[in-house]
Chains A and B, each alone.
Chain A
Amino acid sequence: MAQQHGIIVLFDVENALRTRSLDGNTYWFDNMKFLGSAGVGTEQLVTIVPGTHFSDGSQATEQVLNWLPAVLGAIPPTVPRNYLAEQERADDRRTLRELASLDGEGGVSDADIKRLQRRVGKRARKSGGGRGLTESKLLDVTGRTTSDSGAYNYPAPVITDITGPAVAEKIMYPAQYGSPDMIYDGWYWAATVDTSRPGVYPYTMHVQLHELVERNDELVWESVDLTCGSSLKITNDPKRNGFTGAGLGVLPLPPVPAAG
């Protein structure tokens, strides 16, 4: 197929962090069930990659795969990633405006201060050496800033590598790419596939989860590196002419064309 395969991996991050394993905590999807992908929506996805070749044996369509991580129980990826930063800034601006207006007559009530304190939220700090997340305020799963460190929205897992037989045997060539697409934060993993060798090829995805941990009275993001896996199933068929079922021929025109 000439279109791109999107492979979505839904992570149960909370369970994965608790068990320190992705076993039973990922659900895999592609939109190729109708072409023969198996196990869509489960941990055992086998993604079909139907290849084609021309009569001279050359590869006819280049396959492209994209991997898109998502978190169960978090703000969905349809909400732009930079949303978190935007939302913090919007809250800060609102808080500053309200602080200014508190200065007016009538004094300042405790309730006002408490409300603003809540909105100022808690900030998480990244631990030394950790990767991926900048110091930021906490948002809860409804997109509001929170001061409750037990309610934070899990950040999306970061794919750090794709390895395994499908890569070692040069069936696919995965790499991380930059993109202006704000839905996936400008970074995504994609691969082109060599469809000339039919078969089933497993691969391993290396992901980094992020956990908010209280340490020395401070909240810090800790990274947790885990792996999960899936497979590609390569098929390959020769291209054939749609009109003749075989090679190139004369267009099947009628003796008299339809009026109109």
Chain B
Amino acid sequence: MPPRNRQSERRPTRPVTITAVVDPVAALASENLDDNLYLYDTNKTVGSTGFGTPELHSRVRKGDTLLWNVLPLECETYVALIDIEIDPRIAEPTRKVYPGTDIVFWTAEVKQDITEPVPYRLSFLLGTVSTPFTPTARPALAGPADEERGGR
């Protein structure tokens, strides 16, 4: 067994990644993205909750770099995250692409420590539909001090 790396130390260099897993065909057929959107982040040990639901609460703190990306369940079907609406006092996400590709991700820096959960809105393009799909349920950024109710 190799020696354990310094994994448990805080690594400010690797962003907190929030991944949206989307079943685009199911969402198109049912016109319901909420039931076909599964959100996860890399901060489970820090206390993020709502894994696998569209109401992920990501536990973050001031200075964290956030990164949102998308994993489509049918890899041949187009899915893109086209917008993130969040209180600009907390974060101002910017759209980027992996260099040399047209595959989109978004990054932002958490501008201040959060006391109450800050809900935000994700919008996706699916298939060849030009109107964005936005789930009704809202994910949120939550602060370290904030004790949320219930383990989703």
Contacts and interface: CB of A to CB of B under 8 A. Distances in A.
B25 interface: yes
Contact of B73 (A6, A83, A86, A211): A6
Interface in A20-45: 20, 24, 27, 29-31, 33-34, 40-42
A24 B25 CA distance: 28
A10 B101 CA distance: 22
A86 B40 contact: no
Contact of A77 (B2, B7, B75): B75
Nearest to A17: B7
A179 interface: no
A33 B8 CA distance: 36
Nearest to A29: B73
A142 B15 CA distance: 9
A24 B15 CA distance: 21
Contacts of A213: 2-3, 5
B71 A141 contact: no
B107 A142 contact: yes
B73 A141 contact: no
A212 B5 contact: yes
B99 A87 contact: yes
Interface in A41-98: 41-42, 68, 70, 72-80, 83, 86-87, 90
A40 B73 CA distance: 11
B14 A141 contact: yes
B139 to A, nearest CB: 14
Interface of B: 1-8, 11, 13-15, 17, 19, 21, 23, 25-26, 38, 40-42, 44-45, 51-52, 67, 69-75, 96, 98-101, 103, 105, 107
Given A15-B45, A90-B100, 6 more contacts: A12-B40, A20-B1, A27-B21, A27-B40, A72-B41, A214-B5
30 contacts: A6-B75, A10-B19, A10-B40, A14-B14, A17-B5, A17-B7, A20-B4, A27-B52, A29-B23, A29-B38, A33-B26, A40-B38, A41-B21, A41-B38, A73-B41, A73-B42, A78-B70, A78-B103, A79-B98, A79-B101, A80-B101, A83-B98, A83-B100, A83-B101, A140-B14, A142-B15, A142-B105, A143-B99, A150-B11, A214-B5
